[in-house]
Amino acid sequence: MEMKPKPARRVRMHIESLVLKGFRYEDRQAVAQGVQAQLTRLLSEPELVQRLRETGDTPHVRVEQVAIPARAKPQQIGVAVADGIGKGLGR
């Protein structure tokens, strides 16, 4: 008997606000793009998807302090922020 794969579930994430202090205004889009790209990658990991399935809706994610290297580019900053979110989701 052939087993059909379960239909893919969508993960919908809304970030109401991202507050960055001490960064140039011009860098905000690159930081946001880094966050989006890394979250997309993280949310495609089967382990994290399974964790989200088990926990269900998560209205808030606590993100601990994120360490940013001194000469990080804006997109790298976004990646670091997304990694912090991933850790908050239990990654």
pLDDT of residue 66: 87
The arithmetic mean of pLDDT across residues 45-68, rounded, is 82
Average pLDDT of the chain is 83
pLDDT of residue 73: 95
Please report the sign of the dihedral spanned by the C-alpha atoms of residue 76, residue 78, residue 81, residue 83. negative
Does pLDDT of 79 surpass 70?
yes
How many CA atoms does the CB half-sphere of 63 hold within 13 Å?
A: 14
Q: What is the pTM of this model?
A: 0.76
| pLDDT cut 70: percent of the chain above it | 87
Does pLDDT of 78 surpass 60?
yes
Q: How far apart are CA 25 and CA 27, in angstroms?
A: 5
